[in-house]
């Protein structure tokens, strides 16, 4: 009844998550495409032309700037109109065939270290591929001597064979949306009762503290589970996200996770005096939880102290479990450590929220 009466709450629950899910899955990606490349070719040879052709044929690069002046190319780099400069010096091909050695200069915009590292790796791979082709075509070995046989490696990628970044991101973004809804709505719940004055009426009723907490928690638990189910359905229909493991296991863990998040929200609500104050506190925690959750960066690559602090981050547990169950098909015993951790977490935070709510009759 409270949700239906609050007109601002309905779109926040049902409209915002759908829009965010459809947008964020496309936008939140580390895939490198359309890297803007400027080519400075002072050789204009067959070898330099083949290198430029390989760059054009790559799905990662967009060669849209040609020049004979490295200063002009650097000016474009400073204006952020290009990301990489490939500088091919004069006599590149001549040195390559006469001296068996030649240089190419790569200038990469490294403001974003991750993007720069990937772009540099792609370029080195393309140059290395051209180098092998030229060796096969032009290097002649003395009679009776042959190159060692190549080792052909046939490889496959487990759990995400097409390397689709949406498959990796959607489970995490779904956790994020469910978390935001559960934390913010419960965080404003008791505070709203304080602001409109109904908390005093509740306090003089014979209702017990734990009954009041359950009444405030249960509706948002059911709404969050509905959001999770709806998000999984959208992920399957629009993005073809696989669910290899058990749906029941996902929802069982989600209930446990939501008890933790709702407990945090209720605790914030009990210590706040206004909805604005509750929003600020909730936002403070949610930003930390998200940035340290492993949604965008690997938890294993964080400093050791950050990994230790991450033990109290419930979002990290759920994102890990969602990816394990949905993409790997992990079972109950595979996620048992996370289940035990959240059981302890839920007991502590719900007990704290119940204790912190001071009811006077």
Give me the helix-helix angle, 16-27 and 165-187, nearest 10°.
150
SS3 string, 149-178, reads CCCCCCCCCCCCCCCCHHHHHHHHHHHHHH
At 337 the pLDDT is 93
pTM: 0.76
Of 7-16, 63-72, 251-260, 348-357, give the lowest mean pLDDT range: 7-16
Nearest to 190 by CA among 209, 173, 171, 172: 209
Please report where in the chains the tokens 């469910």 appear, as a residue.
178
In sequence order, which residues have a C-beta less than 8 Å from that of residue 88 and are 6 or more positions away? Answer: 39, 40, 41, 42, 43, 48, 51, 104
* pLDDT in the model for residue 166: 81
Distance in angstroms (rounded) separating the CA atoms of residues 262 and 345: 12
Neighbours of 191 (CB within 10 A): 23
CA pair distance 57, 34, nearest whole angstrom: 12
Spatial CA neighbour of 43 closest among 84, 82, 94, 107: 94
pLDDT digits (tens, 9 = 90+) for 136-168: 776 655 555 555 666 667 777 788 887 777 888
Predicted pLDDT at 360? 42
Compute φ and ψ for 85, nearest 5 degrees. -115, 125
Integer Cα distance of 278 and 190 in angstroms: 10
User: What is residue 336's predicted lDDT score, i.e. its pLDDT?
Assistant: 94
* pLDDT given at position 140: 58
Please check the confidence at residue 361 and state whether its pLDDT lies above 50: no
Between 298 and 12, residue with greater pLDDT: 298
* Category of 207 on φ-ψ map: left (φ > 0), alpha (ψ -120 to 50) or beta: beta
Q: What is the pLDDT of residues 31-83, one digit of tens each?
A: 677 889 999 988 888 888 988 898 888 888 888 888 888 999 899 888 888 99
pLDDT at residue 26 tops 90: no
Percentage of the chain with pLDDT > 70? 89
The pLDDT assigned to 230 comes to 87
pLDDT at 143: 59
């Amino acid at each position: 009844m409270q949700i239906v009466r609050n007109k601002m709450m309905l779109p926040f629950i049902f409209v915002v998550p759908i829009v965010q899910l459809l947008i964020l899955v496309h936008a939140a990606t580390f895939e490198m495409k359309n890297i803007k490349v400027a080519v400075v070719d002072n050789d204009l040879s067959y070898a330099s032309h083949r290198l430029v052709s390989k760059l054009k044929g790559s799905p990662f690069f967009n060669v849209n700037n040609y020049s004979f002046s490295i200063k002009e190319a650097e000016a474009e780099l400073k204006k952020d109109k290009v990301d990489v400069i490939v500088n091919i010096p004069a006599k590149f091909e001549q040195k390559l065939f006469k001296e068996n050695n030649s240089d190419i200069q790569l200038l990469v915009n490294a403001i974003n270290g991750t993007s720069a590292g990937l772009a540099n790796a792609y370029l080195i791979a393309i140059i290395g591929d051209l180098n092998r082709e030229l060796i096969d075509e032009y290097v002649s070995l003395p009679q009776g001597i042959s190159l060692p046989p190549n080792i052909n490696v046939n490889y496959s990628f487990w759990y995400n064979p097409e390397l689709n970044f949406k498959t990796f991101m959607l489970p995490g973004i779904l956790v994020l949306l469910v978390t935001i809804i559960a934390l913010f709505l419960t965080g404003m719940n008791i505070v709203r009762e304080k602001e409109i004055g109904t908390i005093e009426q509740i306090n003089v009723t014979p209702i017990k503290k734990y009954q009041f907490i359950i009444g405030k928690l249960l509706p948002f638990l059911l709404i969050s589970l509905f959001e999770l189910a709806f998000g999984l359905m959208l992920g399957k229909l629009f993005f073809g996200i696989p669910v290899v493991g058990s749906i029941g296991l996902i929802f069982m863990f989600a209930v446990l996770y939501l008890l933790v998040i709702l407990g945090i929200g209720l605790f914030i609500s009990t210590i706040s005096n206004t909805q604005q104050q509750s929003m600020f506190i909730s936002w403070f925690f949610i930003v930390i939880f998200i940035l340290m959750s492993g949604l965008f960066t690997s938890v294993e690559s964080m400093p050791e102290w950050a990994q230790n602090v991450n033990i109290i981050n419930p979002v990290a547990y759920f994102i890990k479990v969602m990816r394990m169950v949905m993409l790997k098909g992990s079972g109950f015993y595979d996620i048992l450590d996370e289940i035990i951790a959240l059981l302890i977490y839920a007991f502590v935070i719900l007990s704290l929220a119940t204790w912190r709510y001071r009811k006077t009759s």
